[in-house]
Structure 1
Amino acid sequence: MNKTRKLRLGAFIQATGHHIAAWRHPDAQADAGLNFEHYKEITQTAERGLFDAVFLADSPSIQDSSEPEIQKRNGKLAKFEPVTLFSALAPLTKNIGFIATASTTYEEPYTLARKFASLDYLSKGRAGWNVVTTGNENAAANFGLEYHPEHSQRYERAEEFVDVVKGLWDSWEDDAFIRDRESGIYFDSEKLHILNHKGKHFSVKGPLNVGRPPQGYPVIVQAGASEYGRELAAKTAEVIFTANQTLADAQEFYADVKGRLAKYGRSPDDLKIMPGVFPVIGRTEEEAQERYEFLQSLIHPSVAWGLLKSRYRDIDLSGYSLDDLAPPLPTDTNGGKSRLKLLTDLVNRGNLTLRQLYLAVATARGHRTIVGSPESIADQLEEWFNNGAADGFNVMPPILPTGLDDFVNLVVPILQKRGLFRTEYEGSTLRENLGLLRPANRFVAKEVNEQLVSV
């Protein structure tokens, strides 16, 4: 193994924390979703811990469509839009990256390209775009649509969407802006390129009215793990967030996606694979277990049944008790297919009761939950990192801010002592810290290739 290889860390900051009842915990910031000072604090904590980036998931609709008794207990419904929030946080930090989620199904390429290019400028090269197709069917009605597009159609649109956005980011060459006061020439017109894209889903002329982003492109992140998602990641993504429960599953995913890169002219280092991990940390194993059990005790019974009903769409659970074995999950969904498979494998592998299933989902929605002392947490991360399962991890604190404080104060020093994690930032941009190359402008590359062919 290359001894210089270092693991990457993202801080997945879900307002009050990732546990479904996090907002009820006495250590949580209950109003976190709309509390700027809270996000400022945890972002600066992540930077102190030398994390590569903070990451926000997002959806263009309320996720919860359940009955009022359950919905009124949901502490995750009201929150900031990510790019807006990150634009405010960027000047308060220096090195940490900002990865914002935005939908290819419910946004348009031009406006998305513009706002992410702007964030890259405002942060001096620390922006990333988490490309999602949106699994939440509730979103359709917010955009005048009767139906949520089919899974395959969403991914087909996403592939074209990403290509258009990259083309718009290449509208201007890096040195296009001369700004020569004496001659009166502001930019070199030969270094402005009109995209003129006409495809199945989009017709976009361009150019973008923002210069080429400092990173060339903000870092492209993707989270889907279905067949469509894996292929899109292999073609377009530079970081992929994934959910795996076992080392074997993580190794299979890692090898499969890395193995797809060559056909797109890419090398394994061009894509960083970062599984989600939900760490419950105690100074001892016993303390960690106590903290885990206390968190689980905060789940209201109606919320527990709501969790189960959301997984068993169109299946009547009225005849079951929580101590009955979980029945087979639905075989298909128009939402997140990879998450359905992960939960199906969990049920089949563990022979779980409905109670055990909702407790498993309540923590990290299918991501890996690890409970233990700082040394134990570090051991488990090191095992995956050193055995072909991960290039790093997307850390999902159970509660915030204390869950991130514990990871930074207790786990990061152990990873550093073992030589697994940086002791200072390698660069000033997100790309530099992730070890990713800055992409060439497609129009410049095309001109160079044409010149070589003519010679």
Structure 2
Amino acid sequence: MSRPQHFGWFLARGFGPQGWGHPSLDWDYDWTRPEIYQEAARTLEQAGFDLVIIEDAPSLGSPSTIDLRVRHAFGGPKHDPLLLAPYLFQATRHLGVVPTVNPAAYLPYTAARQFATLQHLSGHRLGLNVVTDTGSARHFSADAQLGHDEAYDRAEEWLDGIRSLWRSWEDGALVRDRPSDVFADGARLRAVHHRGSHYSFDGPLNALPFTDGEPAIVSPGGSGRGLGFAGANSDVQLALAPLDEASVRAYRAKIHDAATAAGRSAEDIRILFAIQPVIVSSAEEADRIVAASARPDDAALVQIARKQSSDLETDLTALDLDRPLDLAVFGEHVSQGSIRRLIGDRGDDAPLRAHLTALARSGRLSDRSGFVGTAVEFADLVEELGEWGNDGVLLWGDFHPVTLHRTLDELVPELRRRGILRRKYVDGGLQANLRAF
């Protein structure tokens, strides 16, 4: 029997237009209504997934590039995932729901109270994907935008403050003794007086303490500072790295070292590698898809350029495909990591066509050159990751039911046959299921 793995789904489009740009849009779901998300959440719970993480970006970007982000719905619009969470909790009994939250958008006391409310309403199934995106700062304050590392400093102060409020009800504070008519002991409510670099507030919190653990903290950062934040604070790390044994083990070691340095144990954090597989019914079909992707036509390259234009807030579709890409077209606000993902290891003289073609090309699961393959081949990869000590995987896609069934219908039975995917949940909410194995 193989080692069980944790499984999650990263809702890459966020609370946005599910199915846009694909034939599945003609199923006529209304993405602004809860039904499509509830149906997808029930599918994930039936499959035995631990959690769904809902991506978010509260900003449409800089004023000069808004059209790039909304024209094809790659970068927006997006509604607030925190307000979607109760509908997903109502539709399920065990699935963890993890909306993305930005410390810039929530004052600590308000955040602590709202998150505590959702934790209780959900049966302790809330998670929080804490991001430090600074590009949205202008929407929340007129203060100067923070730098990369300072944004993490603020996130740590924010999270420390929220946890101090959650813990302001000491053991024994909640009495609930009906014969004596005592609901709570005020002497056991701890005063909180926070005066920090970014926030000032007082407690205690006007919300009940938790019976089955605090909301699970998820983090996606891949920088040195981001990995340090995960090691010190997170229950789940969303990992992006090459899926070879050396890279996987090295990445996990960095997280575990950061956890140890913060006085935690390596067992305190689950590391889930993000993968977007294309599951097909046969090896022959996989070979056909990979072969076709090797020679993308201009229409396919333009579609990739549209998505990259949204991510990079730079109109690549206006550039000549056959001229070298001048990096001066990218403003200072553009993520250097995003630029590196576009240009890869190709030289400065490489034309834009070469960069887009590289992104268009797919590879086979069978030889580990990519993620196109059968359910059996993907299960082989997950099993191999488990042999290297991995905790689980995070599948990546939108939340349209067509997308989920195309990915999971053949995969779930194969994973269950091997003992990789859970058949039942334990009581105690998200934290308990993350620590069940």
| 1:128-148 Cα distance to aligned partner (Å, 9 max, x none) | 11111115x2x2332242643
Corresponding residue number in structure 2 for 1:406: 406
| 1:238-283 Cα distance to aligned partner (Å, 9 max, x none) | 1010222342433322121112221222221111111211111110
Would you say 1:93 and 2:92 are equivalent positions? yes
Q: Percent identity?
A: 28
Closer, same or farther: CA 168–291 of 1 in aligned 2, 3 Å: farther
| 1:108-151 Cα distance to aligned partner (Å, 9 max, x none) | 1111111111111111011111111115x2x2332242643211
| 1:356-387 Cα distance to aligned partner (Å, 9 max, x none) | 544666899xxx96111111121222222322
Aligned-pair distance for 1:214? Answer: 3.5
Corresponding residue number in structure 2 for 1:156: 153
Corresponding residue number in structure 1 for 2:379: 378
Moved more, 284-293 or 413-422: 284-293
Corresponding residue number in structure 1 for 2:77: 78
> Hey, what's the Cα distance between the residues in 2 that align with 1:403 and 1:180?
50
| 1:179-235 Cα distance to aligned partner (Å, 9 max, x none) | 334433220123211221222222221111111134331011111011110111111
Aligned-pair distance for 1:84? Answer: 1.2
Conservation of the 8 A alpha-carbon contact between 1:16 and 1:400: no
Corresponding residue number in structure 2 for 1:445: none
Q: Helix, strand or coil for the counterpart of 1:235?
A: helix
Q: Which amino acid aligns with 2:86?
A: S
Corresponding residue number in structure 1 for 2:36: 38
With normalisation by structure 1, the TM-score equals 0.81
Structure 1 spans left out of the alignment, 5+ residues:
438-455
Cα root mean square deviation, aligned = 3.8
Corresponding residue number in structure 2 for 1:165: 162
With normalisation by structure 2, the TM-score equals 0.84
After superposition, where does 1:9-408 map in structure 2 within 5 Å? 9-15=7-13, 23-28=20-25, 33-63=31-61, 66=65, 68=67, 71-74=70-73, 77-135=76-134, 137=135, 139-145=136-142, 147-173=144-170, 175-247=172-244, 248-288=246-286, 304-309=304-309, 320-321=320-321, 323=322, 346-348=344-346, 354-355=352-353, 357-358=355-356, 370-388=371-389, 390-397=390-397, 400-408=400-408
Q: Which amino acid aligns with 2:48?
A: L
Closer, same or farther: CA 339–313 of 1 in aligned 2, 3 Å: closer
**Count of paired positions:** 425
Closer, same or farther: CA 117–373 of 1 in aligned 2, 3 Å: same
Structure 2 spans left out of the alignment, 5+ residues:
363-368
Q: Which amino acid aligns with 1:9?
A: F
Conservation of the 8 A alpha-carbon contact between 1:128 and 1:220: yes
Conservation of the 8 A alpha-carbon contact between 1:180 and 1:186: yes
Q: Which amino acid aligns with 1:370?
A: F
Conservation of the 8 A alpha-carbon contact between 1:194 and 1:207: yes
Aligned-pair distance for 1:395? Answer: 0.7
Conservation of the 8 A alpha-carbon contact between 1:169 and 1:216: no
Aligned-pair distance for 1:408? Answer: 2.8
Aligned-pair distance for 1:330? Answer: 9.6
> Hey, what's the Cα distance between the residues in 2 that align with 1:190 and 1:176?
8
